[in-house]
Chain A
Amino acid sequence: MEALKNLTLSPTHRTTIICTIHQPRADIFQMFDYVLLLSKGGYSIYCGPTMGLNPYFESLHFACPLHSNPADYYMDISSIDPIQDSIDNQSILESPSKARVKHLVRSFQNYNSNFTSDNIATPTHQQQTNTDQPPIQISAKYATGWAQQVSTLTQRCYMNTYRDPWNLIGGIGQSMLLSAVITAIFWQLPDSLTATESRCGLLYITTTLEPYIFLLILVERYGSELKIFDRELLDDMYSPSAYFVSQFIASLPQFTVQPILYSIPVYFGCNLRSGGQYFFTFLCVNIVITFIVSGLAWCCVSLHRSFSVSSLIANTNYTFICLTSGYLVNFNSLPIYVFWVKFISFLAYSYQIVMVNEFSDNTLGGCPYYDDPDCTQYDGNEVLQSNGIANDNYISTWPPLLTIFIVYHLVAVLLLDFIRNPVTGSIILQLNFIHHYIFFNRGCRW
Chain B
Amino acid sequence: MDYVPLLSSEECDPVDVVLSNFSIHIAKNNMPCASNKNKIKQTKVLLQPLSVRVKGGSLFAILGSSGSGKTTLLNVISQRYDKNSTIIFGDISYETPNRKYEYCKVGYVTQSDLLLPYLTVKETIHFAAKLKVPQCSSIDSSLDTLVDNLIGQLGLSECKNTRIGDNANSSNLAIRRGISGGEKRRVSVALQVVSNPQCKYHYCNYKCHSLILLLGQCFVPMNQRPD
Q: Which residues on A sit within 8 Å (CB–CB) of B101?
A: 135-136
Chain B 21-49 per-residue mask, 1 if CB under 8 angstroms from chain A, else 0: 10110000010100000000000011110
A42 to B72, CA, bound (A): 9
Known A14-B14, A130-B100, A425-B81; contact A38-B63, beta-carbon cutoff 8 A: yes
Assign chain A's interface to a size class: 35 or more
Whether, in the assembled complex, B89 has its beta carbon less than 8 Å from a beta carbon of chain A, the answer is no
- Contact in complex: B55, A33 (CB < 8 Å): yes
Shortest CB-to-CB span from B108 to chain A, Å, is 7
CB-contact partner of B103 in A42, A130, A138, A161, under 8 A: A138
Chain A 159-171 per-residue mask, 1 if CB under 8 angstroms from chain B, else 0: 1110111100100
Interface positions of B from 47 to 101, Cβ below 8 Å from A: 47-48, 50-65, 67-72, 74-75, 77, 80-82, 84-86, 95, 97-101
Shortest CB-to-CB span from A3 to chain B, Å, is 4
CB-contact partner of A160 in B55, B63, B119, B172, under 8 A: B119
Interface positions of B from 200 to 227, Cβ below 8 Å from A: 200, 207, 210-222
Which among A18, A34, A45, A426 has the highest number of chain B CB atoms within 10 Å?
A18
Shortest CB-to-CB span from A232 to chain B, Å, is 8
A124 to B195, CA, bound (A): 29
Interface positions of A from 76 to 90, Cβ below 8 Å from B: 78-80
Q: Which residues on B sit within 8 Å (CB–CB) of A159?
A: 118-119, 123
- Contact in complex: A20, B216 (CB < 8 Å): yes
Shortest CB-to-CB span from B185 to chain A, Å, is 7
- Contact in complex: A23, B219 (CB < 8 Å): yes
> What's the A-B contact tally at a CB cutoff of 8 Å?
337
Total count of chain B residues near the partner, CB < 8 A: 114
Shortest CB-to-CB span from A108 to chain B, Å, is 10
- Contact in complex: A41, B45 (CB < 8 Å): yes
Which among B1, B6, B69 has the highest number of chain A CB atoms within 10 Å?
B69
A152 to B192, CA, bound (A): 18
- Contact in complex: A21, B100 (CB < 8 Å): no
Whether, in the assembled complex, A16 has its beta carbon less than 8 Å from a beta carbon of chain B, the answer is yes
Residue of A at shortest CB range from B23?
A: A42
User: What would 7 more interface pairs be, CB under 8 Å, given A17-B213, A153-B127?
Assistant: A4-B189, A14-B57, A19-B214, A19-B216, A40-B65, A231-B114, A237-B128
Q: Which 6 A-B pairs have the closest CB atoms?
A: A425-B82, A19-B215, A38-B64, A117-B51, A3-B155, A79-B65
Pull 9 A–B residue pairs with CB atoms less than 8 Å apart, ordered by A: A15-B196, A15-B212, A18-B62, A18-B74, A21-B62, A112-B51, A126-B53, A143-B195, A422-B82
Residues of chain A touching chain B, judged by Cβ–Cβ distance below 8 Å, are 1, 3-24, 28-29, 31-45, 47, 50, 71, 74-75, 78-80, 112, 117-118, 120-122, 124, 126-127, 129-131, 133, 135-138, 143-144, 148-149, 152-153, 155-156, 159-161, 163-166, 169, 225, 227-228, 230-231, 234-235, 237-238, 422-426, 428
